[in-house]
Amino acid sequence: MCGFVGFTNQVGDDGKIIGAMMDAIRHRGPDAEGKYVDADIALGHRRLSIIDVSEQGNQPLYSADGKLVLVFNGEIYNYRELRAELQETGCIFRTNTDSEVLLHGYAVWGEQLLNRLRGMFAFVIWDREQKTLFGARDFFGIKPLYYAKMGETLLFGSEIKAFLQHPHFRKELNTAALEEYLTFQYSAMEETFFKGVFRLQPAHYFTYKDGKLDIRRYWDVHFQPDDKPSLEDWVQEISAAFRDSVEAHKIADVEVGSFLSSGVDSSYAAAAAQVDKTFTVGFGEDERYNEIGWAKGFSKAIGKQNFSKVITPEEYWDSLGKIQYHMDEPLADPSAVALYFVCGLAAEQVKVVLSGEGADEIFGGYNVYSEPDSTFYDKLPRGLRRSIGKLAGRLPAKRGVNFFIRKGKDVEERFIGNACMFTPEERKALLKITTDAPLPQELTAKYYSRVQGMDDVTKMQYLDLHMWMAGDILLKADKMSMAHSLELRVPFLDKQVMAAAERIPTKYRVTRKERTDEHTPYVTKYAMRLAAKQDTPQETAKTAAKKKLGFPVPIRVWLKEDAYYNIVRSYFESEAANAFFRTEQLVKLLDAHRTGKADNSRKIWTVFMFLKWYEVYFAAAPKMTTA
Number of H helices, E strands in the chain: 27, 17
Residue 431 carries which DSSP code?
A: B
Q: Cα(116)–Cα(82) distance, rounded to whole angstroms? A: 8
Q: Cα(382)–Cα(406) distance, rounded to whole angstroms? A: 12
Partners of residue 214 on adjacent β-strands? 207
Q: Where are the alpha helices (DSSP H) in 540-600?
A: 555-558, 562-572, 575-580, 583-594
Sheet holding 68-76, edge to edge: 61-62, 68-76, 119-127, 132-137, 204-209, 212-217
In contact, 46 and 2? CB cutoff 8 Å? yes
Query: Distances in Å between the alpha carbon of 431 and those of 189, 275, 440, 527, 601?
Result: 18, 49, 16, 44, 18
Q: Cα(139)–Cα(143) distance, rounded to whole angstroms? A: 10
3-class SS of residue 47: strand
From the list 301, 558, 315, 336, the residue with the least C-alpha distance to 293 is 301
Q: How many residues does the chain have?
A: 627
First-residue to last-residue Cα distance in the chain? 16
Q: Cα(294)–Cα(544) distance, rounded to whole angstroms? A: 13
C-alpha count within 13 angstroms, C-beta hemisphere, residue 150: 21
Phi/psi of residue 303, nearest 5 degrees: 75, 30
Query: Distances in Å between the alpha carbon of 133 and those of 120, 213, 215, 349, 530?
Result: 20, 9, 12, 38, 46
Buried b (16+ CB within 10 A) or exposed e, 148-184: bbbeebbbbbbbbbbbbbbebbeeebbbbbbbbbbbb
From the list 605, 117, 61, 121, the residue with the least C-alpha distance to 337 is 605
Phi/psi of residue 576, nearest 5 degrees: -65, -45
Phi/psi of residue 586, nearest 5 degrees: -60, -45
Q: Where are the alpha helices (DSSP H) in 89-142?
A: 99-109
What is the DSSP pairing of strand 256-259 with strand 352-354? parallel
2 is catalytic: yes
Among the listed residues 2, 91, 343, 420, the single catalytic one is 2
Q: Cα(476)–Cα(379) distance, rounded to whole angstroms? A: 39
The residues annotated with a catalytic role in the active site are 2
